[in-house]
Amino acid sequence: MFFQILLFLAFYVIAKHLLSKTRNLPPSPFPTLPIVGHLYLLKKPLHRSLTRLSNRYGPIIHLTFGSRKVLIVSSPCAAEECLATNDIIFANRPRLLIGKLLGYNFTSLAWAPYGDHWRNLRRISSLQLLSSHRLQTLSRIRTDEVRSLIRRLLPTNNNNQNQTEVHDLKSAFVELTLNAMMRMIAGTRYYGDSTAEADKDQVCMFRDIVSETFRLGSLTYVGDFLPMLRWFGITGMEKRLILLQEKRERFMQSLIEEHKRMGFDADAEKDKKKKKTMIGVLLDLQESEPEYYNDEMIRGIMLVLLSGGTDTSAGTMEWAMSLLLNNPEVLKKAQAEIDNRVGHDRLLDESDLAKLPYLRCIINETLRMYPAAPLLVPHESSEDCQVGGFHVPRGTTLLVNLWGMQYDPSIWEDPTNFKPERFEGLDGMKDQEFKFRFMPFGSGRRSCPGEGLAMRVVGSAVGALIQCFEWQRIGEEMVDMDEVVRLTLSKARPLHAICRPRPAMVNLLSQL
């Protein structure tokens, strides 16, 4: 019996290998095992494991994750073929459990298939919620939250501005981004001292939702790749996702109902507050077409903005400050630029970012070394196509190994070293030379619509910390730069650092 099973497995592996050659599929590691495919080759973190495979088999490889066909591309040319030449074909998302349970059965902006509904969601996000005009209208909120961050880092003894204290920057950045997003979405903050306007139960519910989302974000549902596991019923992770979505829906619906009540309130101040929020903008659309712009759609859009606009930006800030602490000469150069362009009489704000090119270089270099989504968000092919001369079947999941490309020494000189100067004189986000080798927000139809917001939040927060404080590491050791993939590419150990107000800024900071 054992011999027969072994013979069958050998026949299966060889037949699978020969079939891939006759169909002109991209190179694939041998062997492809029954049931698990190439899952046996993968280790955490996935982007590093896939980079090792690409270094061996080439920039375009075909893998099998259980029952799922996967295309891995790790060169700018291959990425361009997928995200530009075949943009429409790869404009879908794979149908994963998280998209079903947290993405309203694949109808939210992040998970909806390419088509009229998705195009409308994208239009609303880009033109109604995240346009330059809308972001400018809401800039005061982000400025307030950056100033709140600065006050948090000031010495507890106001009479001793030379006092140094250790600060948990990870928590500070997470709270900054969550407060900024929730104030833009609903007009209420949920962290810090000024949370009086929020109901205490609502605050607790929101914080519980955030914590559970971060916990579940680091998990992988094996049933997405091994469907046979679904025969055994609902798994523990599936139950947790269902419960999380129920909490998220209750919370968001309570905010929507609160805004609807404002609409019936004669209080002009409340009406003004409603019109300034993103929920208020969407409820205005609901009045014109209530069946389409229903509460579920509004909840879905808000949850996508919240999840996509917080952990990503907070993580980038933490990586940037970690790199600056390990590279004090870069920090000094950035401080000199800000001192020269902004001065010491006022705090840096978003309107200054355009005249701070070296700060932009620091953020770009941080995104190159530590992209929030090292494999971008997965795509799926809607029909057969060609990539690099290879056949790619319909229904293939596409993973763009952005991390692998941004550490490729044939593309980037000395890629493991932090060198913001490599971006000097170039707008790294738009220059053609960088278009497909530097794309931290993706490219094509399904690129991140929140790029403008993210760059404003990260630039103003990191810039303000550079302007206001002297920074030093805790002890002589370098800041640990080990990484772990949770919702995004995160530091394995939260960043703690020591700071004190810069002498030239003491007078201004004392007035905050």
Asked if the structure places residue 368 within a domain, the reply is yes
| Residue 161 pLDDT exceeds 80 | no
Quote the pLDDT of residue 356: 98
| Residue 329 pLDDT exceeds 70 | yes
Beta bridge partners of 187: none
Asked if the structure places residue 412 within a domain, the reply is yes
Asked if the structure places residue 76 within a domain, the reply is no
> How open is the CA angle 119-83-361, to the nearest 5 degrees?
100
Asked if the structure places residue 68 within a domain, the reply is no
Q: For residues 439 and 7, what is the distance between their CA atoms, to the nearest angstrom?
A: 47
- Structural domain including 414 reads 116-509
Q: For residues 405 and 165, what is the distance between their CA atoms, to the nearest angstrom?
A: 39
| Residue 139 pLDDT exceeds 70 | yes
* CATH label of the domain that carries residue 272: 1.10.630.10
Asked if the structure places residue 75 within a domain, the reply is no
Q: How many domains does the chain have?
A: 1
Asked if the structure places residue 485 within a domain, the reply is yes
Quote the pLDDT of residue 182: 95
Long-range contacts of 345-349 (CB under 8 A, 24+ apart): 345/508, 346/508, 347/146, 347/147, 347/150, 347/464, 347/467, 347/468, 347/508, 348/460, 348/463, 348/464, 348/467, 349/139, 349/143, 349/146, 349/460
**pLDDT per residue over 95-124, tens digit each?**
999 999 999 999 999 999 999 999 999 999
Quote the pLDDT of residue 430: 53
511: Cα within 13 Å, side-chain hemisphere:
7
| Residue 272 pLDDT exceeds 80 | no
| Residue 220 pLDDT exceeds 70 | yes
Q: What is the pTM of this model?
A: 0.92
Ranges 14-28, 336-350, 486-500: which has the least confidence: 14-28
Quote the pLDDT of residue 472: 97
Asked if the structure places residue 69 within a domain, the reply is no
| Listed residue (167, 130, 172) closest to 149, CA to CA | 172
Asked if the structure places residue 154 within a domain, the reply is yes
